[in-house]
Amino acid sequence: MNTPKGAARESPWPMTLLLVGAGLVSAVQLGKAPAAMQAMQVALGLPLERAAWLLSAFGVVGALFGIAIGTATDRLGARRTLVAGLALQGAASAAGAAAQNATLLIASRLVEGVGFLAVIVAAPALIARVVPASRAAGPMAAWSAFMPAGMALVLLASPWLLAAGWRVLWWVGSGLALGYAALAAWRAPRDGTKHSPSRGSALPLRRTLLARGPLALLLLFMLYAGAWFALFGLLPVVLDGGLAATPAQANMLTALAIASGGAGNLAGGALLARGMRPASLVAGALGVCALLALSVAMESLGAWPRYWLVVAFATVAGLVPPALFAEAPAQAPHASTLGLTLGMMMQGNNLGLVAGPAAGAALIATGGWLALAAGVAALAGTGIVASVCLLPRPVAGTRTPRATETQAPQAHHSPAASRPMGPPATGADRVRSGPRQHST
In the DSSP assignment, the letter for residue 345 is: H
Which candidate, 53, 32, 47, 277, places its Cα nearest to that of 161? 32
Distances in Å between the Cα of 198 and the Cα atoms of 59, 204, 416, 440 are 32, 11, 19, 12
- What is the average pLDDT score of the chain? 83
In the DSSP assignment, the letter for residue 196 is: -
Q: In terms of C-beta density within 10 A (0-12 exposed, 13-18 middle, 19 or more buried), how is residue 159 classed?
A: middle
How far is the C-alpha of 239 from the C-alpha of 249, rounded, in Å?
9
The CA-based diameter of the chain, rounded to the nearest angstrom, is: 68
Separation of CA 148 from chain center:
10
How far is the C-alpha of 172 from the C-alpha of 89, rounded, in Å?
12
What number of other Cβ atoms are within 10 A of residue 42's Cβ? 10
What is the 3-class SS of 369-395, one letter each residue? HHHHHHHHHHHHHHHHHHHHHHCCCCC
What number of other Cβ atoms are within 10 A of residue 97's Cβ? 19
Which stretch of DSSP H or E encloses residue 9?
Answer: helix 5-9
Residue 52 has a pLDDT of 79
pLDDT digits (tens, 9 = 90+) for 68-115: 999 999 999 999 999 999 999 999 999 999 998 889 999 999 999 999
Per-position pLDDT tens, the chain of length 440: 344 444 445 788 899 999 999 999 999 999 998 888 888 888 888 887 787 788 888 989 999 999 999 999 999 999 999 999 999 999 999 999 999 888 999 999 999 999 999 999 999 999 998 888 888 888 999 999 999 999 888 888 888 888 889 999 999 999 999 999 999 999 999 876 444 444 446 677 788 888 999 999 999 999 999 999 888 877 877 777 678 777 778 878 888 888 899 999 999 999 998 999 999 999 999 999 999 999 988 878 888 888 999 999 999 999 999 999 999 999 988 888 999 999 999 999 999 988 888 888 888 888 888 898 999 999 999 999 999 988 876 544 444 444 444 334 433 333 333 333 333 334 444 433 333 433 33
Look at residue 45 and give its three-state secondary structure: coil
Which candidate, 383, 50, 42, 342, places its Cα nearest to that of 191? 342
Cβ(12)–Cβ(131) under 8 Å?
Answer: yes
How far is the C-alpha of 198 from the C-alpha of 252, rounded, in Å?
52
Give the contacts of 134 (CB within 8 A, at least 6 positions apart).
404, 405, 406
Cβ(325)–Cβ(144) under 8 Å?
Answer: yes
In the DSSP assignment, the letter for residue 190 is: P
Residue 394 has a pLDDT of 56
Residue 202 has a pLDDT of 67
What letter represents residue 13's amino acid? Answer: W
What number of other Cβ atoms are within 10 A of residue 13's Cβ? 14
What letter represents residue 281's amino acid? Answer: L
Which pTM was predicted? Answer: 0.81
How far is the C-alpha of 270 from the C-alpha of 54, rounded, in Å?
36
Third-level CATH fold of 5-192+202-392+402-432: Growth Hormone; Chain: A; (1.20.1250)
Residue 438 has a pLDDT of 38
Question: Which residue spans within 183-265 are E strands per DSSP?
Answer: none
How far is the C-alpha of 113 from the C-alpha of 146, rounded, in Å?
16
Distances in Å between the Cα of 277 and the Cα atoms of 144, 151, 261, 303, 392 are 17, 29, 20, 36, 11
Q: Long-range contacts for 193-199 (Cβ within 8 Å, ≥24 apart)? A: 193/420, 193/422, 194/75, 194/76, 194/77, 194/80, 195/74, 195/75, 195/336, 196/75, 197/75
Distances in Å between the Cα of 379 and the Cα atoms of 92, 105, 240, 373, 388 are 35, 34, 26, 10, 15
